[in-house]
């Protein structure tokens, strides 16, 4: 009996030790990038010799980050708006109606989330090249919509299910038309969910490498693709300016994540949690 207690304690300690080890490694990995981007020379020591901001100026000029950032947020913005525009009505229909073939429609929306982007990205890019959209901004936007639109639909369904249909019925009874019902009742009630879905769609688009890589041309690269190319061609550029770019990329993703986490639980980013928020 006593032996069992000792073993259980040991097991618990081992599990927590691993959690700490993992977290420390993730933080250290991110810290390496940040420290290197501010360092002058960093060879054979724990920390760089001195610190400087000049790599940011260098990276900004070398990689034309102004242009790249503009393109990135134009693409991400378009993806967010379009997936909300098409996704919310679809989520509303799925949350409120039972119709024959509904499971099939659910599968249709789940598949682009489950099949890895690189698998469907190659044929998708082929089609986009054939119609002449690949290499343009619209090609990248369309490719990114393929997983983001279903993501918005799936994320919005529970938010819509939470709204009591009686609220809508009451608005109808008092004579609200579809437009007023939508803008004065549904949108305000859905705002937290809509905001969460939009922010997470933003994060996904900014950090989506595979699809953008497969469909972007030189003038429609997003930050993450530019980062990949600069690492791929490493040796030409100073490592520190690549890391400066990586830090800028981190910032452009994490801002949205931090705001989004005010509205959703981190587990919701990977899983649809059944527990409804109180």
Partner 1 sequence: MADAAASSTTAPSTRRRPSLADRGLDGVTLLLLPAALFIVLLFVYPFLYGLVLSFMPKEGGWLGNYTRFFSDPYMYGTIWLTVRLALPVTVLNIALSVPIAMQVRHMTRQRLLTTILVLPITLGTVLVAEGLLNYLGPQGWLNRTLILFGLIDRPIRLVHNYWGVFISLVITGFPFTFLLTLSMISGIDPALEQAAATLGARARHRFAHIVFPLIVPGLAVTFCLAFVDAFSVFPSAVMLGAPAGETRVISFAAAQAAFEQYDYSYASAIAMIMALVQFGFVGLVLGLRGLFYKGPVGGGKG
Window 163 to 182, contacts with partner 1 (CB under 8 A): 165, 178
Smallest separation, CB 149 to partner 1 (Å) = 6
Smallest separation, CB 171 to partner 1 (Å) = 13
Q: How far is 139 from 220, CA to CA, in rounded Å?
A: 9
Smallest separation, CB 276 to partner 1 (Å) = 13
Question: CA geometry: angle at 80 spanning 76 and 82, to 5°?
Answer: 115
Find out whether 135 and 216 touch, Cβ atoms under 8 Å.
Answer: yes
**276 contacts partner 1 (rule: CB under 8 A):** no
Cα 179 to Cα 18, 88, 96, 163, distances in angstroms: 54, 15, 18, 17
Q: What is the DSSP letter of 30?
A: H
**Contact pattern from residue 196 through residue 235 relative to partner 1, giving x for each residue in contact according to CB under 8 A and a dash for the rest:** -------x---xxxx--xx---------x--xx--xx---
Q: What is the DSSP letter of 219?
A: G
Task: List the one residue from 10, 127, 170, 233 that touches partner 1 (CB under 8 A).
Answer: 127
Question: CA geometry: angle at 268 spanning 267 and 272, to 5°?
Answer: 115
Q: What are phi and psi of 2, to 5 degrees?
A: -65, -40
**142 contacts partner 1 (rule: CB under 8 A):** yes
Closer to partner 1 at the Cβ: 69 or 242?
Answer: 242
Of 60-68, 69-77, 113-121, 186-194, the window that binds partner 1 (rule: CB under 8 A) is 113-121
Task: List the one residue from 10, 111, 187, 233 that touches partner 1 (CB under 8 A).
Answer: 111
Helix (H, G, I), strand (E, B) or coil at 176: coil
Closer to partner 1 at the Cβ: 191 or 258?
Answer: 258
Task: List the one residue from 72, 78, 150, 216 that touches partner 1 (CB under 8 A).
Answer: 150
Tokens 């587990």 -> residue: 267
Q: How far is 232 from 72, CA to CA, in rounded Å?
A: 20
Question: CA geometry: angle at 99 spanning 95 and 102, to 5°?
Answer: 70
**Contact pattern from residue 70 through residue 109 relative to partner 1, giving x for each residue in contact according to CB under 8 A and a dash for the rest:** ----------------xx-xx-xxx-xxxx-----x--xx
Task: List the one residue from 3, 6, 116, 179 that touches partner 1 (CB under 8 A).
Answer: 116
Report the chain's C-alpha Rg in angstroms.
23
Smallest separation, CB 256 to partner 1 (Å) = 9
Closest CA to 263 of 203, 201, 204, 195: 195
Window 1 to 40, contacts with partner 1 (CB under 8 A): 4, 8, 11-12, 15-16, 18-19, 22-23, 25-30, 32-33, 36
**242 contacts partner 1 (rule: CB under 8 A):** yes
**129 contacts partner 1 (rule: CB under 8 A):** yes
């Amino acid at each position: 009996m006593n032996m069992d207690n000792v073993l259980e304690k040991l097991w618990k300690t081992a599990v927590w030790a691993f959690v700490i080890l993992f977290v420390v490694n993730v933080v250290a990995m991110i810290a390496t990038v940040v420290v290197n981007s501010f360092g002058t020379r960093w060879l054979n020591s724990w920390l760089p010799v001195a610190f400087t901001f000049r790599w940011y100026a260098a990276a900004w000029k070398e990689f034309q980050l102004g242009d790249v950032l503009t393109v990135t947020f134009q693409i991400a913005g378009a993806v967010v708006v379009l997936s909300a525009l098409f996704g919310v009505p679809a989520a509303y229909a799925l949350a409120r109606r039972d119709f024959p073939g509904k499971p099939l429609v659910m599968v249709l929306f789940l598949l682009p989330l489950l099949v890895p982007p690189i698998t469907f990205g190659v044929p998708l890019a082929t089609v986009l090249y054939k119609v002449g959209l690949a290499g343009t901004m619209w090609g990248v936007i369309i490719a990114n919509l393929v997983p983001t639109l279903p993501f918005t639909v799936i994320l919005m369904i529970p938010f819509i299910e939470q709204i009591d249909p009686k609220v809508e019925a009451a608005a109808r009874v008092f004579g609200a038309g579809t437009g007023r019902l939508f803008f004065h009742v549904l949108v305000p009630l859905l705002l937290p969910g809509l905001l969460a879905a939009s922010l997470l769609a933003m994060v996904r688009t900014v950090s989506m490498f595979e699809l953008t890589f497969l469909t972007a041309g030189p003038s429609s690269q997003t930050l993450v693709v530019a980062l990949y190319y600069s690492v791929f061609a490493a040796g030409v550029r100073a490592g520190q300016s690549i890391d400066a770019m990586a830090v800028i990329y981190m910032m452009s993703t994490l801002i949205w994540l931090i705001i989004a986490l005010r509205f959703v639980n981190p587990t919701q980013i990977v899983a649809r949690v059944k527990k409804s928020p109180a």
